[in-house]
A = this chain, B = another copy of it.
Amino acid sequence: MSPTTTPETETAQSPTPTPVAAGDGTEVKGRLAVRSGTKVTLSIDAMGGDRGPAAIVAGISRSAAKNPALDFILHGNAATLEKLVAKRKHLRGRVEIRDAQGVVTMDEKPSQAMRRADTSMRSAIDAVRDGEAQAVVSCGNTGALMATSMIRLRKLEGVNRPAIACLWPSRNAGGFNVMLDVGADIRADQQDLLQYAMMGASYARNGLGLSEPRVGLLNVGTEEHKGRAELKVASDLIEKTQQLGNYSYVGFVEGGDIPGDKVDVIVTDGFTGNVALKTGEGTAKFVGDSLKEAFKATPLSRIAALLALTSLRRLQKRIDPRRVNGGVFLGLRGTVVKSHGSADATGVSAAVKLAYELAASGFTERLAARVASAAASAQTDKPE
C-alpha cells in the first residue's frame, strides 16, 4: 500500500527497460525510469505559448546542454527560428527546422484549429505520427492540441476519452501525485473514470516508480453515500479492477488529499480536475506572493529573508509549478506533452525533460499494451 521508489515498471512489453538514470544523467528518485543515454528526437511546436518562440528555443537549448542524447525537430516560422537557433551553441547540429506559417492562437476554437493544415502545431504532431520523432511538446492552446492529436495520432484501441495527467507537488515520499483528467474533456462517465484509473496507475508506476500506486476517486466526501450517482458506480468499477490494473484502490478522496500523502493517483473528470489544478496553482502563487510581501514589510524581515535565502529557494523549488510543467496526454497513439502556455525557458526545459523520459522509457507502448489487455479481459468477462 505504501509508496516505494523501487521502480517496478510495466511488464506487458519487452524489452524491460533498465531504470538507472534520468535524461540529464543524474540519478532518478521517484521520477521516470529511463534507459541511460537512449537517443530521442523530440518534435517541438515552437509557435505556441504566450512568450513566443524565443522562450521555447531558450528552453530546448537548456535541455540540450544537459542531455546529449536529445535532438529536435522545430516547427514554425523558419526565418525566425533559424535566427534564434543560430544564437545557441548547444543546439548546433541538433535541430531540424520545419517551416509552418500557421499559428494556432490561444483562444481559437479547437474544432477550427484542428482543420488547419498549415499550423506549427499540426506539423509538430505529424512528425510523431510519421515516426520521425518520439514525442511532441507544445505550449499552445490545450483544446486545439488535444483535438489535433486525436485526429492525427488517433486514440489507443479501447480508449474512449483520452485524458490529461499532471504531476502535483505533494507530501508523498516521491514529492508528487498524479491527477487526471485536468482538462482534456469536461465530461467523464463511469467507464471513462475507470480508464483514467488504469492509465493514471500506469503513469504512476512508470513515471513515479511506484510498484502498486494507490488510486483515489475525487468526491465531496469520503463517505460512501456522498457525491454524484455516477461516482458511486465508478467507485465500484475501479475497486473491482484493482488486480487487473495493478493498483490499490483507496476509495473516495477529497480536494484536501490532492497535495496529501494518502493517495498517488487522483481520478476525476476534466471539468473538476481543471478547476482544482488552477485553484491549487492560484492558491500556491497567492501564498508565495503574500510571503514575499511579508518579508518586505520591515527592515528586520528583509534581513531575515537574506538569511533564509537558501531555505526559501528550496521551498520555492518544491512548490514551483514550472518544475512539474507538462501535462501528459494519455490514451493516444503517440506521446504528447502539453507545457504551460506561459512557460519560460525553465518551464519549457522541464516539459522537454518529461517528454524525453516518457519517450526513452517506451511508456506509451507499454500503456497501449496495458489498455489492450484490460479491454480484452473485459471482453472475456462479458456474459455471452
Chain A interfacial positions (CB closer than 8 Å to B): 107, 109, 143, 169-171, 183, 186-187, 218, 220-221, 223, 225-228, 254-260, 268, 270-272, 274-288, 290-291, 293-295, 297-298, 300-301, 303-308, 310-312, 314-315, 318-319
- B294 near A308 with CB under 8 A, answer yes
- B259 near A286 with CB under 8 A, answer yes
**Complex contacts, A169 vs chain B, CB 8 Å:** 286
- B272 near A275 with CB under 8 A, answer yes
| Max count, chain B CB within 10 A of own CB: residue among A227, A258, A260 | A258
Q: Is the interface of A mostly helix, strand, loop or mixed?
A: helix
Question: What distance in Å separates the Cβ of A69 from its nearest Cβ neighbour in chain B?
Answer: 33
| Max count, chain B CB within 10 A of own CB: residue among A255, A258, A287 | A287
Known: A220-B270, A297-B311. 8 other contacts (CB 8 A): A255-B278, A255-B279, A259-B286, A272-B272, A286-B319, A294-B314, A301-B307, A304-B305
| Max count, chain B CB within 10 A of own CB: residue among A109, A274, A308 | A308
Known contacts A169-B286, A287-B288, A311-B298: A275-B278 contact under CB 8 Å: no
Known contacts A171-B286, A227-B186, A283-B283: A220-B275 contact under CB 8 Å: yes
Q: 7 closest pairs, A vs B, by CB?
A: A255-B278, A304-B308, A256-B282, A255-B279, A304-B307, A301-B311, A259-B286
Question: What distance in Å separates the Cβ of A315 from its nearest Cβ neighbour in chain B?
Answer: 4
Question: What distance in Å separates the Cβ of A106 from its nearest Cβ neighbour in chain B?
Answer: 9
Question: What distance in Å separates the Cβ of A237 from its nearest Cβ neighbour in chain B?
Answer: 19
**Complex contacts, A271 vs chain B, CB 8 Å:** 220, 227-228, 272
**Complex contacts, A294 vs chain B, CB 8 Å:** 308, 311-312, 314-315
Question: What distance in Å separates the Cβ of A361 from its nearest Cβ neighbour in chain B?
Answer: 29
Give the distance in Å from the alpha carbon of A260 to the alpha carbon of B301 in the complex: 25
Question: What distance in Å separates the Cβ of A324 from its nearest Cβ neighbour in chain B?
Answer: 14
Give 23 A-B contacts (CB < 8 Å), ordered by A residue.
Answer: A143-B221, A169-B286, A218-B275, A254-B278, A255-B274, A255-B277, A259-B282, A275-B276, A276-B279, A279-B279, A279-B280, A291-B315, A294-B308, A294-B312, A294-B314, A295-B311, A298-B310, A300-B310, A301-B307, A304-B304, A304-B305, A304-B308, A304-B311
Partner of A278, one of B256, B291, B295, B303: B256
**Complex contacts, A268 vs chain B, CB 8 Å:** 275
Partner of A310, one of B186, B221, B228, B301: B301
- A301 near B308 with CB under 8 A, answer yes
Known contacts A280-B283, A300-B308, A303-B307: A255-B227 contact under CB 8 Å: no
Give the distance in Å from the alpha carbon of A270 to the alpha carbon of B275 in the complex: 13
Question: What distance in Å separates the Cβ of A19 from its nearest Cβ neighbour in chain B?
Answer: 28
- B280 near A280 with CB under 8 A, answer yes
Give the distance in Å from the alpha carbon of A184 to the alpha carbon of B287 in the complex: 27
Give the distance in Å from the alpha carbon of A290 to the alpha carbon of B320 in the complex: 12
In the complex, the chain B residue whose C-beta lies closest to that of A318 is B290
Give the distance in Å from the alpha carbon of A20 to the alpha carbon of B315 in the complex: 42
Question: What distance in Å separates the Cβ of A322 from its nearest Cβ neighbour in chain B?
Answer: 15
Known contacts A220-B275, A311-B304: A283-B295 contact under CB 8 Å: no
Give the distance in Å from the alpha carbon of A290 to the alpha carbon of B218 in the complex: 24
